[in-house]
């Protein structure tokens, strides 16, 4: 029976974008809400700032992720085009280059030459993309997927502080936004660490630490400006 192994790297593209988006949505929107609330403005102003932060942040995450991953995809495409040209003009040199890579990995020169020859006979470009450039279908840049994952996850993360701003009493708003955000950040950090094979408490701690710092500084700024305006 053929044994199939599932590795965590198959999730790295969408997982990175999703976790980053959700954390950013939570931290940035909650910090905005807490900072505005600390200034003493009415609930309507706090809610408007939260909704504006949700919409602006969602579009910013989508655009930023799309541009960033598109640049990566362009680089990958350029590298593949160069390999395709080199294979067309000097296949023997490319075969020797591939064999040298396998020698560096521990194969004997005769075996490395044999492996290079067989792999290139099957799909020369794929062999060079994988073993020379480090490219594969698993790690290939997917701009649209990354943009959608970032946008949706940001909006989902930002939704919590916005909903709390709309339903809880004004006097409890900042406290409830802060505590619920820290709790959810801890869960997200632990889940991301678990899926990625890291230590769960460490992942939870680092994201809650930075979230608490962001909200604390935002509240300080809001209180200072609220007292002077």
Residue 150 CA to residue 148 CA, distance in Å, equals 5
Give which of 160, 194, 185 is closest to 34, Cα–Cα. 160
Domain positions in the chain are 11-228
Does the predicted TM-score (pTM) go above 0.85?
A: no
C-beta separation of 33 from 49 below 8 A:
yes
Rounded to an integer, what distance in angstroms lies between the CA atom of residue 176 and that of residue 116? 61
Compute the distance between CA of residue 212 and CA of residue 198 in angstroms, rounded to an integer: 22
Alpha-carbon span 214 to 68, nearest angstrom? 25
Inter-CA distances, 170 with 25, 215, 225, Å: 22, 17, 19
> Closest Cα partner for 27 from 184, 167, 152, 132?
184
**DSSP for 124-161, written as a single string:** HHHHHHHHTS---TTT---HHHHHHHHHHHHHHHHHHH
What does the pLDDT read at residue 139?
Answer: 62
* Residues in contact with 142: Cβ distance below 8 Å, sequence separation at least 6, in sequence order: 13, 69, 73
Q: What is the pLDDT of residue 68?
A: 87
Contact 164, 174 (CB under 8 A): no
Structural tokens at position 50:
């939260």
SS3 122: helix
Residue 216 in 3-state DSSP? helix
Q: Which sign, positive or negative, has the C-alpha torsion 63, 65, 71, 77?
A: negative
Running DSSP on this structure, what letter comes out for residue 105?
T
Q: What's the number of CA atoms in the CB half-sphere (13 Å) around residue 228?
A: 6
pLDDT in tens, the chain (229 residues): 444 445 444 455 556 667 777 888 999 999 999 999 998 889 899 999 999 999 999 999 889 888 988 888 888 888 888 888 888 888 888 888 888 888 888 888 889 888 888 888 888 888 888 877 777 666 666 788 888 888 899 999 999 999 999 999 888 998 999 999 999 999 888 887 877 778 888 888 999 999 999 999 999 998 887 755 4
């Amino acid at each position: 029976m053929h044994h199939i192994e599932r590795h965590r790297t198959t999730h790295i593209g969408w997982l990175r974008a999703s976790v980053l988006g959700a954390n950013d949505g939570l931290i940035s929107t909650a910090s905005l809400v807490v900072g505005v609330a600390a200034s003493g403005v009415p609930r309507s102003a706090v809610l408007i700032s939260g909704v504006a932060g949700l919409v602006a942040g969602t579009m910013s995450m989508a655009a930023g992720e799309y541009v960033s991953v598109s640049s990566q995809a362009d680089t990958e495409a350029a590298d593949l085009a160069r390999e395709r040209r080199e294979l067309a003009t000097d296949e023997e040199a490319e075969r020797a280059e591939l064999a040298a890579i396998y020698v560096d990995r521990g194969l004997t020169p005769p075996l490395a030459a044999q492996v290079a020859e067989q792999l290139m006979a099957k799909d020369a470009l794929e062999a060079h993309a994988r073993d020379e450039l480090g490219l594969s279908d698993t790690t290939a840049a997917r701009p649209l997927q990354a943009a959608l994952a970032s946008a949706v996850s940001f909006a989902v993360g930002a939704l919590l502080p916005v909903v709390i701003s709309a339903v809880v009493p004004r006097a409890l708003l900042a406290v409830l936004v802060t505590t619920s955000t820290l709790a959810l950040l801890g869960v997200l950090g632990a889940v991301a660490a678990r899926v990625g094979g890291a230590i769960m408490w460490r992942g939870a701690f680092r994201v809650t630490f930075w979230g608490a710092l962001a909200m604390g500084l935002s509240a300080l700024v809001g209180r200072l400006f609220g007292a002077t305006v």
